[in-house]
Structure 1
Amino acid sequence: MRRVMRSLAALVLLTAATLVGAGTASTAAADSCYTWNRTLSEGSSGEDVRQLQIRVSGYPAYGEVLALDGSYGPATRAAVTRFQQAYGLAADGVAGPNTFNRIYALQSPD
């Protein structure tokens, strides 16, 4: 079941990246997906937060929908935490290099 959930999450991320379009990828690891240039946490806002929300929107709390509003609030933190837990990352709700690298790996066209 866990393997199916990870595959589904990867598919959601790939679909979101395709529908939203690519940002400015400046590293090989990012291969044609949005590239983040800063750590994001509660209180952050902007297009980079919205891009993160798109990619973790499959991890909201039960019965909730994550708003794609570019504002990193408690719901985004909770979705990021669940994403981190699902992929064995330090689950602190802060989106930094390890979280972004996992997103890049999931979006890789392999």
Structure 2
Amino acid sequence: DIARCYRLLIKELDLKMPVTDSIQCIARIASKIGIQEKTKRHAIKVLKLAQENEISAGKDPMGLAAAALYLSCVKNGEDKTQRDIAEAANVTEVTIRNRYKGLKDSQ
């Protein structure tokens, strides 16, 4: 109900909401939990590939960024759990797992 009212206000007032870019979210999440620069760069590559393959369309940017960081941590041997990343990104571990599957398949 709240979401419906929100969309109605946006439409009626002709407001343009800024689109959050998942690549910008990576730095925010990574700085909260101390992820290495190498891992951040790999996560950005993963997200750019996902955008090219249109896997990211319609997905929550923060969830995508969190999953890309988790995938990059696993690949680079960085010891971060799904829970660590989920808490830093304010998403659920289930979201990370679901987005992780899609990102991993696109690699």
**TM-score, normalised relative to structure 1:** 0.29
Q: Higher helix proportion, which one?
A: 2
